[in-house]
Structures are given as C-alpha cells and as structure tokens.
Amino acid sequence: MNTLDTQTFHSIGRLQQALRSGQLTSQALVRQQLARIECFNPQLNAYVEAYHERALAAASAADRQRQAGIDLGPLHGIPVAIKDLFDVQGRDVTGGSRALAPRRSLSTATAVSRLERAGAIVMGKTHTVEFAFGGWGTNAVMGTPWNPWDRQVHRAPGGSSSGSAVAVASGLASAALGTDTGGSVRIPAGLCGLVGLKTTRGLISRHGLIELCPSLDSVGPITRTVEDAAWMLDAMLGADWQDPVSCRAPVFSAAAGLHLPVTGLRAWVLPHAERVNVAAQVLAVYDRSLLVLQGLGLHLVEQPLPVPLEHCMRVAGGLMSAEGYASLGSLFERDDLTFDPHVRRRVLAGKGIDASGYLALQQQRRSARAAMAQAMLNVDVCVFPTHAVGSLPLAEIDEYGTPLALLGRFANLLELCSVALPAGFDGQGMPVSIQVVGRAFAEPLILRVGQAWQQATDWHLHPPCGWALADAEVA
C-alpha cells in the first residue's frame, strides 16, 4: 500500500495535519478515494453514486482557500459520504428503494449543508436498508454492502447505515453521515470497527431526510475516532426552524471537553439478567473492556434495568411499524412494485396498530423513559455491548430475528445518546464494539469517556486488510 493510499485510512485529525502542513492536498486525497471507489465499490457496494466532478471541484476550492490562508476548521477539505436518505440539491435520492423512480432533490438537507459549510467534501450517496428499516444491513433490491473485514465471505455490514460504515471502514471516505432509529448508526459502526454516534433526537436537524419513524429518528456521524465524531457533531448541531424538534436542543461544543478527566465517573454495566441474550465471544470482549475502563478510574455500577431491553425493543419496533406504515403503507401495499420482502413485512405490520394501540405504545414509552431517568440518577453513563452478536455471513442471517436491535433500540426509545467504540474482535476476526450511553444531550460526556477509551486502546487504529490500491490504479 502506497503512502497516499495509507492516508485514506487516517483519522480526520491526522489528515488535517497533513493538509495544513502542505504534505497533502484535498485534490490528491479525493482522487485517491475516487480511485478506490472505482476499484473496490463493485464488490463492496458501499456507494449508490459517487460525485466525481462535484467532489473534485470542491477539493480544488478547498485547496485554493487553504493557499489563501482561509481555514474553515477540522473538516475543511475532508471527504465525507452521505447516506442515501438525505437530500443533496440536484442529485437523486432513493431511500434504498427501487419501487419508484429516484427523486431529484431540489434542496440540500440541513445536516449536509452544514457539513459543506464547514468545508467537508461530499463524495456521494451510500447504500441503506430500504427506507432504513432493518438492522442487518441487507437490501434485496439494491444489493447488500460487503463488510470489508472479510474479503472472502459476504457478511452483514450492519444497518441501516450500511454503505456509510463500509465506505469509511474500507477507505472510500474519511467519515460518513448516517441515521439512527433503533441502532442504525451504532450497529454498522460496531460491525465494521468504527465509531458511531447516536445523537439525542433533535440535536441535529432532520430537515431534508427521508424519515422512517419521526418519534425515534436521529442523525449521527460514522468516523474512525471519537475526536472525528465530535468535530462532525459540532459542525451539524444547532436549531433549525425547518425541524421544530431541533429548536429545543442546547448548543455546545462536544470537541472542547474531550480531554477532561473521567476519573470517578460511575458507569452502569450490563445487568446479569441481560447477558443471557449476548453471544459469549461478544461478552468476552465486553468484560475485558470493563477492566480497561476501571483502569481509567471509572466506578462500575451493577443494578437491574427498570425496563428490560427486550420490552424496549418491542415497543420501539411497534412505533417504527406504526409510523412507517403511516408514511409508507400506501406504497408498500401495491402489488405492482418490487420491495425488499422483509422490509415490506415490517412496514405492513403497522397496519394492525390502530390509534389506541399507537397511543398505548407512546404511553409505555413515557413510562419507560421516566423509570430510566430515575434509575440513571445513580450513574453518569451506561457501558453496554453495542451488538449482541458479531457479523454473520449473509447465508446465516435470520431476517425474522432481531439480535442486533436488542442493544440498540432502547437508547432511541428512552431518548438517550450513545457512542459505539471499537473494542476488539471475535473468533472469526470480526469487530466487536461497546457503547457508552448517556442522558439526553449528554454527548459531551459520553464522547469524553470514548476519548479516554481510545487514548488507552488502539482498536480504532486497525483497518481491514486486503484493500490496497496500487499506484497504477490512481487516475
């Protein structure tokens, strides 16, 4: 692997150092990643569409700005990938579906426009589970992205932000934007060995996003490091009148407090009653991770959950189906169109949830949120596994099972924030992840714990092997 190809796997922080010192240009970085997309995307299937001319023009502009002494911050000249649920003006958006012709966006989603305003370069749109309704990352109509940690066997990339995670993990982007309704940022980040930040609903505007479940949907970054995630969050957060939910969110800098101490923080660990649903190899990595956190000065707290994770998963799943059917039901009931059969089943399940059933689900959610808020008075954060099982070969996936949702949906249902962190590997050499969970709008705190974790470990520094690009392959 040549030096420039190696740099495509560097963190935003390291890339920015090279850009500011003149050792690297944004044009060179973008050309390298476009070459990697050309070479590897046929197998990886991370991108729906790469914006070659648009990205190169933006890279050239970033280089000229830098030469003129203009520095827009840590994202200036950095290539990012966008999940194919967000509008980008003048570009198609499909939502991971072929049921209807792609829609040409008339404007750009607020989160994307704020990234561009901070100097980020949009490389293109990445694949998603159809309308973001699935945790394995599979898509029967547009193809399932390939988890790059196994070059020979097609394994689950995690979903629904599957292409975004695969693009970053395989060096086809330096960071990516995803959405999280029940784990859809954290699960693919976890299965692909990356950092995934599930933000508090409303912290980042959802304007210009194809939503699945407005009660639970949130926007978040997928990156190599916690620091990178904090920079992306700082660029995107803030009120947007086009998303009224965002107007209640506070404004802060997540990056500013990353290096504050974590000694003395109380971390709620996964209760024994919940461990029975987690694979042994995942638990082994998780338990070793807890020892590292203890070494950092965190106090581990064992107490039962006020509401079982399985109950949270069922309530959240009901809300997803009910709200998904409300917006997509008339489309998915058509017999003349082609859908992912498993997504169709999940959407049509909402048809049986009437108004009283929906209100009952919302009441259960309110009760669970109140109980969790009371229980978290004893702790500062929770530290749980991100996923209950590792990445499975596609041939072994049971689409009727939801093991990846067990440790994901509760954070959305209870309006918590969470960051997934690379923590090791299972017996098949596939990434295993832990997540640090905090109260609503506690992103600075959970990212501070995540930063301390990455200062003490090096799991985030290991890219997948077998994806080197020869010099001759760069245009």
Q: Let me know: does 207 contact 110? Beta carbons within 8 Å.
A: yes
- Asked about 184 being catalytic, the answer comes back as yes
Distance separating alpha carbons of residues 255 and 447, to the nearest angstrom: 8
Q: Residue 73: is it exposed, middle or buried by C-beta count within 10 angstroms (0-12/13-18/19+)?
A: middle
CA Rg, the chain, in Å?
A: 21
Distance separating alpha carbons of residues 163 and 81, to the nearest angstrom: 9
Instruction: Read off the tokens for 376.
Output: 């978290």
Distance separating alpha carbons of residues 237 and 203, to the nearest angstrom: 6
Determine the 3-state secondary structure of 301 from DSSP: strand
Instruction: Read off the tokens for 197.
Output: 């930040």
User: Catalytic one among 11, 26, 83, 198?
Assistant: 83
- Asked about 83 being catalytic, the answer comes back as yes
φ, ψ for residue 19 (rounded to 5)? -65, -45
User: Catalytic one among 162, 184, 205, 391?
Assistant: 184
Determine the 3-state secondary structure of 163 from DSSP: helix
User: Catalytic one among 11, 26, 113, 160?
Assistant: 160
Omega of the bond leading into 418 within 30 degrees of 0 (cis):
no
Distance separating alpha carbons of residues 139 and 162, to the nearest angstrom: 10
Task: Point out the residues that are catalytic.
Answer: 83, 160, 184
